[in-house]
Structure 1
Amino acid sequence: MITTWADFQQAEPELAATVRARFEQYTHHVLATLRKDGSPRLTGLEAKFPLDELVLAMMPDSRKALDLRRDPRFSLLANPGEGTGMGGGDVRVSGRAVEVTDQETLDRFAKELGAPLPFHLFRLELTEVVRTSVEDDELVVRTWQPGRPVRTIRRT
């Protein structure tokens, strides 16, 4: 099952707010895509929430855009910040990136993002959201998947 950011936000507003805050805390994040041969590719990029959707905008014909056109599966890790304190926790979203090709929608997003066209724009459909944090000397992993409640695992 796949869902939009809005669906996730409606299903789990508290976790969605935490995840969004982590992505908005820093500009650059790490995107994992799959190359033609199936090996992983990690690249840096910005993740944005224009019009309350989680999207990725990329330069025309960038390797990561071509990867996602060929195989839309992705994982996006929020910038963990400086040092090793995991300030605010570690956040990752995974799913499928759907390219937006409708010119009217591209124009609307370009205006909202303040970015000139041309660029590739991908809406992210989520299959999993994970937040890992340290709370009271415990490692706490919260996992959400569409149609399921948040699952929490605690380890000392």
Structure 2
Amino acid sequence: MTTTWADFEAAERDFATVVRERFGAYRHHVLATLRTGGAPRVSGLEVDFRSGEMWLGMMHGSWKARDLRRDPRFALHANPGPGTGMDGGDVRVSGRAVEVTEPEAVARYAADAEPPEPFHLFRADVAEVVRTTVEGDELVIQLWRPGQPVRTVRRR
């Protein structure tokens, strides 16, 4: 089952807004992919939200694009920002990256987003969204998965 960003927003509008704002606070984030041998690779990445999708665009032929073409599983960590405050919490999205190769779809995206060309374009099939914050002396973890409401866990 494919879960778009719009599906996540429809299921949990308030939580999706907080997560999207957290990604919007900074331009560059950290993408984790899997290398051929299974070891993790982390790379910088810009994230774009358009037309109900979370888009992952990257340089043509980049290692992260090669990784995702071979094994689409990813984890994406929002930039924590300067210092240790992590205003808005620590946010992560994981799932599968679906490469978009249809020329018309790529052209529409390029016309709107104006990325450096050539580029690879992937849309996120969202499998899990996690936000971690500190409230007083508690660690608060919010977790969403498709078909389930947001679950909140508090730890001291």
Give the TM-score category using the shorter length: over 0.9
Counterpart in the other structure of 1:58? 58
Trace 1:16-31 onto structure 2 (pairs within 5 A). 16-31=16-31
> Match of 2:43, as an amino acid?
T
Alignment of 1:155 onto 2:140: no
Runs of 4+ in 1 over 6 A off after TM superposition: none
> Match of 2:111, as an amino acid?
K
TM-score where L is the length of structure 1:
0.97
TM-score where L is the length of structure 2:
0.97
Alignment of 1:44 onto 2:44: yes
Which sits farther off after the overlay, 121-130 or 110-119?
110-119
Structure 1 position 114, deviation (Å): 1.6
The answer for unaligned runs of 5 or more in structure 1 is none
Contact 2:4 2:52 in 1 (8 A): no
- Number of aligned residue pairs: 156
CA–CA separation in structure 2 for the residues paired with 1:109 and 1:2: 20
Structure 1 position 123, deviation (Å): 0.2
SS in 2 for 1:55: strand
Q: Tell me how large the CA RMSD over aligned residues is.
A: 1.0
Trace 1:100-111 onto structure 2 (pairs within 5 A). 100-111=100-111
Counterpart in the other structure of 1:68? 68
CA–CA separation in structure 2 for the residues paired with 1:135 and 1:112: 39
The answer for unaligned runs of 5 or more in structure 2 is none
CA–CA separation in structure 1 for the residues paired with 2:56 and 2:43: 12
Counterpart in the other structure of 1:131? 131
